[in-house]
């Protein structure tokens, strides 16, 4: 399945992993075994120490029973059987200690996954966590375990979670090939924003593909060729040349305004999740940062970033995009986005459980710390605050109460902030969409998060390949909800930006304009193509297209309509 468009070729670089922690697998010779085992002992001691400290921190911030989880994990780190099995894997299989840890953890996890007792099954997650922590400790002690990926490689892995991608320079990688990870998973979003072709759903990719194999990754049709013959190579060389010519043509549009053919300005903002994304946003002449996802800074750390760390990072992002605005979204964890140090109650249905603002309101200190960091940045930069996964007005009011406390504290400490910082909500839960007019009375702006909206309107998990066919952004129900929200926001005089992945697909731009959207926030790498589509549209035609689409009763009819429109324009 294609998760990020584009074509690339190059040598495969295969990684093993314990969840998001990727390790290079290499053979060691007899003389290296002792040194590897010594590194293992140092890492175990460091992991144990870290877990005990984390247990104390979490007990303070979240609760004693949550803190105990880490104390229990510290005991497992000292477990003899884990130690014995890793030692024997290094000695007998002659692999580096990272690969041995990954193998042993995988074996433990499989054993736990198979038991029928649900409580024991949940231990599998703990074991993974422990594995990640030991690997992180090994990474710290050994410079060589930082992933030195050769320039131009094609990364092959089971799954690449966002925090894993922080361990190497994504810009050195020419494409990604994974076994797991849906089109709307966060790594796919990252790949698209970095313009890296990516294909997922290649079963057992790390076992079937070897480091050094020549790969062609066709991120347009979702196919990967392993050591292809000359005729396939020739075909793709031609296509790559055509695509780069097209992109060079688009670059010429860099300084052209984002305005429809009939003269309506359509601000084009960028989505970002790390400071360097603001650099790309500037390069592509973004009108601001329409969505800054703060999860990334949390996910690459082993413990809560302090208020000051958050402030420093966000200040750098805001400075880079200044004087344009930056919309900072409060932490959206829960659902598909987990943090190892923020234990959530076990649930069968994470997307329908505690996540986003619901979770933050359960942990007001975490919420207040983040709001304080945002407010401090607002002293010097045009910051707006965005609430994730809002379901109704109560969550808005409860957040405002914490915001007021944060302001009072900062005031008392003599720290500057903008007392009128705009507050907005993601419209991504159907109840919030229905209540747009009600929410508008107490909020300053909205952001339409179609990634979640589609999953909740259609009851189709965005991360689950097996219901991928039901996840249909062009479903008639989705289009009606978008149209409804756009009308309601306009009637209430509240700006609405669309920031879900639909916004970044130029095939949808005209339709979205017709449905009433007038501001888009997309990955920097998608800006030029979307701008091109905006500049080729007139509102009259867009509205006629949207009216025709809204009259259709099925996704396939709407797809057919868009296809006819595309052919007619050509």
List interacting residues with ligand PEP (CB under 6 A). Answer: 291, 293, 332, 428, 449-452, 499-500
Q: Which of 9, 174, 186, 381 is catalytic?
A: 186
Residue number, nearest CB to Mg ion: 452
Q: Give CA–CA dist 548/546, Å, rounded.
A: 5
* Least distance (Å) between residue 458 CB and ligand PEP: 13
Residue 130 partner contact from ligand PEP, Mg ion, none using kind-dependent CB cut-offs of 5 to 8 Å: none
Number of other CB atoms surrounding residue 519 within 10 Å: 22
Between 159 and 463, whose beta carbon lies closer to Mg ion?
463
Min dist. Cβ of residue 449 to Mg ion (A): 4
Q: Which is nearer to Mg ion, 159 or 428 (CB)?
A: 428
Residue 499 contact, options Mg ion, ligand PEP, none, Cβ 5-8 Å cut-off depending on partner type: ligand PEP
Strand partners, 447: 426, 497
Closest to ligand PEP by CB, 129 or 336: 336
From ligand PEP, Mg ion, none, interface partner of 450 (C-beta below 5 to 8 A by class): ligand PEP
Residue 387's binding partner, choosing from Mg ion, ligand PEP, none, with beta-carbon cut-off 5 to 8 A by kind?
none
Q: Specify the residue, 129 or 428, whose C-beta has the smaller distance to Mg ion.
A: 428
CA distance 440 to 425: 9
Contact 236/44 with Cβ under 8 angstroms? no
Distance CA 179, CA 567 (A): 34
Other C-beta atoms lying within 10 Å of the C-beta of residue 361: 18
309, 313, 318, 319 alpha-carbon torsion, rounded to 10°:
100
Q: Is 452 in the site for Mg ion (CB under 5 A)?
A: yes
Nearest approach, Cβ of 273 to ligand PEP (angstroms)? 8
Is 80 known to be catalytic? no
Q: Which of 333, 426, 440, 344 is nearest to 385 (CA)?
A: 426
Three-state DSSP class for 218? strand
- The entry of ligand PEP, Mg ion, none near residue 500 (CB within 5 to 8 angstroms by kind) is ligand PEP
36-48 burial by CB neighbour count: b if 16+ within 10 A, else e? bbebbeebbebbb
Minimum separation from the CB atom of position 530 to ligand PEP (A) = 15
Q: Which helix (H) or strand (E) holds 256?
A: none
Among Mg ion, ligand PEP, none, partner that 402 touches (CB below 5 to 8 angstroms by kind): none
- Residue 201 phi/psi, 5-degree rounding, is 85, 15
Integer Cα distance of 16 and 24 in angstroms: 6
Residue 213 Cβ vs ligand PEP, minimum distance, rounded to whole Å: 33
457-496 footprint of Mg ion as x/- string (CB under 5 A): ----------------------------------------
Minimum CB separation from Mg ion for residue 404, in Å? Answer: 26
Residue located via tokens 């790594």 = 187
- Shortest Å, Cβ 274 to ligand PEP: 14
- CA–CA separation, 486 vs 391, rounded Å? 17
Asked whether the bond before 323 is cis by omega within 30 degrees of 0, the reply is yes
Does residue 186 have an active-site annotation?
yes
Nearer to Mg ion, 158 or 452 (CB): 452
Output the smallest distance, CB 157 to ligand PEP, in A: 21
SS3 content of the chain, % helix, strand, coil (to 5): 55, 15, 30
Residue 289 in contact with residue 281, Cβ under 8 Å?
A: yes
Give Cα 376 to chain centroid, integer Å: 25
Binding mask 376-415 for Mg ion (x = CB under 5 A): ----------------------------------------
Contact 361, 367 (CB under 8 A): yes
Residue 338, binding choice from Mg ion, ligand PEP, none, Cβ under 5 to 8 Å by partner class: none
428 binds Mg ion (CB under 5 A): yes
Nearer to Mg ion, 6 or 335 (CB): 335
> Does residue 384 contact residue 446 with C-beta atoms inside 8 Å?
no
**Interacting span for Mg ion (CB under 5 A) from 188-196, 293-301, 448-456, 524-532:** 448-456
Which of the following is catalytic: 9, 174, 483, 499? 499
- The residue within the footprint of Mg ion, chosen from 131, 449, 514, 516 (CB under 5 A), is 449
Q: Which C-beta is closer to ligand PEP: that of 216 or that of 432?
A: 432
For the CB of residue 200, give the shortest distance to ligand PEP in the complex, in Å.
16
Q: Which stretch binds Mg ion (CB under 5 A): 123-131, 310-318, 396-404, 450-458?
A: 450-458
**Kind and range of the H or E element at 139?**
helix 118-141
Residue 16 or 497: which CB sits closer to ligand PEP? 497
The nearer residue to ligand PEP, 340 or 450, going by C-beta atoms, is: 450
Secondary structure of 456-501 as H, E, C letters: HHHCCCCCCHHHHHHCCCCCHHHHHHHHHHHHHHHHHCCCEEECCH
Residue 288 binds to Mg ion (criterion: CB under 5 A): no
Choose the stretch contacting Mg ion; rule: CB under 5 A; options: 48-56, 168-176, 447-455, 553-561. 447-455
Q: Lay out the sheet containing 153-157: strands in order across.
A: 2-4, 198-199, 173-178, 153-157, 7-14, 214-218, 223-226
28 binds, among ligand PEP, Mg ion, none (CB under 5 to 8 A by kind): none
Could you count the other beta carbons within 10 Å of the beta carbon of residue 221? 10
Which residues participate in catalysis according to the annotation?
A: 186, 499
Task: Return residues touching Mg ion (CB under 5 A).
Answer: 428, 449, 452
């Amino acid at each position: 399945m294609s998760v990020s468009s584009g074509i690339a070729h190059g040598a495969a670089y295969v990684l093993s992993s314990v969840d998001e922690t990727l390790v290079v697998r290499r053979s060691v010779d007899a003389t290296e075994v002792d040194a590897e085992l010594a590194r293992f002992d140092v890492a175990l001691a460091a992991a144990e120490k870290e877990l005990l400290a984390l247990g104390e921190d979490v007990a303070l911030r979240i609760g004693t029973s949550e803190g105990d989880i880490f104390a229990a994990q510290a005991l497992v780190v000292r477990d003899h059987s884990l130690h014995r099995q890793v030692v024997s894997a290094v000695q007998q299989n002659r692999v580096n200690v990272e690969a041995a840890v990954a193998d042993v953890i995988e074996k433990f996890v499989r054993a736990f996954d198979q038991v029928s007792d649900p409580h024991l099954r949940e231990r599998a997650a703990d074991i993974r966590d422990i594995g990640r922590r030991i690997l992180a400790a090994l990474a710290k002690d050994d410079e060589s375990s930082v992933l030195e990926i050769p320039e131009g490689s094609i990364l092959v892995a089971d799954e690449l979670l966002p925090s894993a991608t922080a361990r190497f320079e994504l810009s050195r990688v020419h494409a990604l090939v994974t076994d797991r990870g849906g089109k709307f998973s966060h790594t796919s979003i990252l790949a698209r924003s970095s313009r890296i072709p990516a294909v997922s759903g290649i079963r057992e990719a790390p076992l079937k593909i070897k480091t050094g194999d020549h790969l062609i990754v066709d991120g347009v049709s979702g196919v990967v060729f392993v050591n292809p013959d000359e005729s396939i190579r020739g075909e793709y060389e031609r296509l790559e040349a055509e695509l780069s010519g097209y992109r060079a043509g688009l670059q010429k549009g860099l300084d052209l305004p984002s305005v429809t053919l009939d003269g309506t300005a359509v601000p084009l903002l960028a989505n970002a999740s790390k400071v360097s994304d603001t650099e790309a946003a500037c390069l592509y002449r973004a009108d601001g940062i329409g969505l800054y996802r703060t999860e990334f800074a949390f996910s690459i750390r082993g413990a809560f970033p302090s208020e000051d760390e958050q402030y420093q990072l966000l200040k750098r992002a805001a400075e880079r995009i200044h004087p344009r605005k930056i919309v900072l979204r409060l932490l959206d964890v829960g659902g598909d986005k987990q943090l190892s140090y923020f234990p959530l109650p076990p649930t069968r249905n994470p997307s329908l459980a505690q996540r986003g603002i619901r979770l933050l309101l359960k942990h007001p200190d975490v919420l207040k710390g983040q709001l304080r960091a945002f407010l401090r940045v607002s002293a010097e930069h045009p910051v707006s605050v965005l609430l994730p996964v809002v379901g109704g007005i109560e969550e808005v009011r409860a957040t405002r109460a914490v915001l007021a406390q944060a302001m009072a504290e900062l005031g008392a400490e003599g720290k500057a902030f903008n007392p009128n910082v705009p507050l907005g909500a993601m419209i991504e839960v159907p109840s919030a969409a229905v209540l747009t007019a009600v929410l508008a009375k107490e909020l300053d702006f909205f952001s339409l998060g179609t990634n979640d909206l589609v999953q909740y309107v259609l009851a189709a998990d965005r991360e689950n390949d097996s219901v991928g066919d039901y996840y249909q952004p062009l479903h008639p129900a989705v289009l009606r909800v978008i149209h409804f929200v756009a009308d309601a926001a306009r009637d209430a005089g509240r700006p609405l930006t669309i920031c879900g992945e639909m916004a970044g697909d130029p095939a949808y731009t005209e339709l979205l304009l017709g449905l009433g959207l007038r501001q888009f926030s997309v990955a920097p790498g998608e800006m030029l193509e979307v701008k091109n589509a905006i500049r080729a549209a007139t509102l009259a035609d867009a509205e006629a297209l949207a009216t025709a689409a809204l009259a259709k009763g099925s996704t396939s009819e709407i797809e057919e309509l868009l296809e006819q429109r595309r052919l007619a324009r050509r």
